[in-house]
Amino acid sequence: MAQAKKALVKSKKQRTPRTVGGSVKKSTPHSGVRTYQNYIGGKWVDSNSGEIFENINPADTRDVVGRFPLSTRQDINDAVNAAQEAFNRWRRTPAPRRAEILFRLGEILIRQKSALAADMTREMGKVLKETGGDVQEAIDCTYYTAGEGRRLHGFTTPAEMPDKFAMCVRQPVGLCGLITPWNFPMAIPSWKLIPALVCGNTVVIKPAEDTPLSTYNLVKACEEAGIPPGVVNLVTGYGETVGAAMTTHPALRLISFTGSTETGRLVASACADRNAICSLEMGGKNVIMVMEDADVDLAVEGAVWGAFGTSGQRCTASSRIVVHKKVYKQFSKKLVERAQTLRVGNGADPRTDMGPVINSEAIEKIRGYIDIGRHEDGATLAHGGRRLTKGEYANGFFIEPTVFTDVTPDMRIAQEEIFGPVTAVIPANSLDEAIEIGNGVRYGLSASIYTQDVNRAFEAMNEMYTGIFYVNASTIGAEVHLPFGGTKATGNGHREAGTQVLDVFSEWKSIYVDYSGKLQRAQIDDVKI
């Protein structure tokens, strides 16, 4: 146990013998590497611990992106106090005024887009086109959700008695804790932060320890946009300490978490203990179904993008491809040929198609599943499967795009979330069987079908029990003005994005105004019209 605890204070990217020395250091200035601070009550401050952790480039672990505060429960207490102090003023600020500040934030992000993308590629690994997309998603979310400042619609409805008026309005939840993942280091924080703010909440945000810089950049932009002190507070550190301090803090009325299903369960039970609201976005095992009448080349392109974009590290990744037996051989051959053409490398190099995975733990987990696929499950390893370690790959977390064929639906590689560039091709005899396989996992985030037959497209659309569905497109690429989230073990019934996210970050208040001047009793049977 002591051993395990010790491991917790190491940077995840550094849980490998080949990386730079001890990761937990006293925050002394260091040549060339910048030391960042927490943002609490409008001030940039060190952690109470005086310790820092290193943010390492997963494409080259010799490159230290920055040093960030290794924060403690005390830092969270300070941040929550600051959020509490700012709350009344912010919630009383008219929503259109709050939104004006958010529109300014959007402008700043547009102006800084390429620099933000470069920072993100350096700390997270995905290629520049994709990190540009990540920043764009944050911009889209900011503009779309800021527009809600002039809507935030409630409703009116007839009252059951005369001279009585009934309406329903939104009010902020209060203080919100946001715990965000490393795979979309700016988009996902923005999905939570912007709706929280437009609804009038104040927040404490903890970014994943692997990618604190992008959230730092987002919070810095909030400061520049003029968001008042205490409304947004940033605390960096590890889930086991800072995250746990947030989920158990009595004043954080809501925790919004995106990450693994396992951690989500811990977050949910901590919240349940104190009756806090909890919104979870977790794992996926998303399926592309390719029918015999599909445009096979198009389906292959969709599969490559869905399986290997972001090195398969999206919760929407196409980790299963169920293919009708009539086109199974043709599809599998083309998929392997196409996977062979992908250039793996540093995401900062414009020639790169697929960057590294996030850290050494991810390497171990993905390789573990590749072994399971080959030996335990007995599927055919049709392409990839190796870690790349030579030459340009020597100091990074690179793994080949990997295709398993002849996979059966019950195999572990067809059931469990791998979160890496590994996809499982499964043959099926019919649409019905494809749908059954598609639904036959514990997750329910995204699914897609490739077919030219509109009847089949609609049947699949109707039958798949997922939160997102695509026709003739991959399982990735959700847009911010539609609700995002999934069924079963993917979530706990909430949605991010769209206007639906407003239901997470606001509470409904039903209001009755009786202007009859007399006592009227609801549900009592003596109303005279």
Count, residues near ligand UN1 per rule CB under 6 A: 9
Binding status of residue 499 toward ligand UN1 by CB under 6 A? no
Listed residue (21, 36, 31) closest to 69, CA to CA = 36
The answer to whether residue 168 is catalytic is no
Q: How far apart are CA 411 and CA 387, in angstroms?
A: 22
Q: Is 86 in the site for ligand UN1 (CB under 6 A)?
A: no
CB of 479 to ligand UN1, least distance (A): 7
Binding mask 95-134 for ligand UN1 (x = CB under 6 A): ----------------------------------------
Q: Which stretch binds ligand UN1 (CB under 6 A): 56-64, 158-166, 314-322, 360-368?
A: 314-322
Catalytic residue among 281, 400, 417, 496: 281
Rule CB under 6 A: choose which of 105, 219, 221, 315 binds ligand UN1.
315
> Among 170, 314, 488, 495, which residue sits at the site for ligand UN1 (rule: CB under 6 A)?
314
Q: Rounded CA gap, 41 and 223, in Å?
A: 11
DSSP states along 416-443: S---SSEEEEEEESSHHHHHHHHH-SSE
By DSSP bridging, strand 25-26 and strand 506-514 are unpaired
Which is closer to ligand UN1, CB of 208 or CB of 296?
A: 208
Alpha carbon distance 388, 186 (integer Å): 28
463 is catalytic: no
Q: Are 419 and 312 in contact (CB under 8 A)?
A: yes
Closest approach, Cβ 358 to ligand UN1, in A, equals 13
Residue 201 C-beta: closest distance to ligand UN1, Å: 22
Nearer to ligand UN1, 65 or 187 (CB): 187
Kindly indicate which of the ranges 50-58, 261-269, 309-317, 512-520 contains the residues binding ligand UN1, using the contact rule CB under 6 A: 309-317
In the window 210-249, what residues touch ligand UN1 (CB under 6 A)? none
Q: Are the C-beta atoms of residues 434 and 289 closer than 8 Å to each other?
A: yes
Q: In the chain, what's the furthest Cα-to-Cα distance?
A: 88
Can you say whether residue 488 is alpha, beta or left, with left for phi > 0 and alpha for psi between -120 and 50 degrees? left
- Exactly one of 14, 27, 142, 183 binds ligand UN1 (CB under 6 A); that residue is 183
Q: How many CA atoms lie within 13 A of 454 on its CB side?
A: 0
Rounded distance between C-alpha atoms, residue 170 and residue 198, angstroms:
11
Among 304, 476, 489, 502, binds ligand UN1 (CB under 6 A): 476
Residue 478 binding ligand UN1, by CB under 6 A: yes
Report, in Å, the least distance between residue 111 CB and ligand UN1. Answer: 22
Q: What SS3 state is found at 351?
A: coil
Alpha-carbon separation of residue 31 from 11, 20, 23, 27, 65 (angstroms): 20, 15, 16, 12, 12
Nearest to 413 by CA among 361, 375, 377: 377
Pick the closer one to ligand UN1 by CB: 287 or 478: 478
For ligand UN1, give the closer residue by CB, 64 or 358.
Answer: 358
- 27/313 with CB nearer ligand UN1: 313
Q: Which tokens hold the place of 262?
A: 């396992």
Is residue 33 within a helix (H) or strand (E), and if so which, with residue range? none
141, 176, 278, 315: the catalytic one is 315
Among the residue ranges 332-340, 447-455, 457-465, 472-480, the one whose residues contact ligand UN1 (CB under 6 A):
472-480
Which residues are part of the catalytic machinery?
A: 281, 315
Residues of this chain that bind ligand UN1 (CB under 6 A): 137, 183-184, 314-316, 476-478
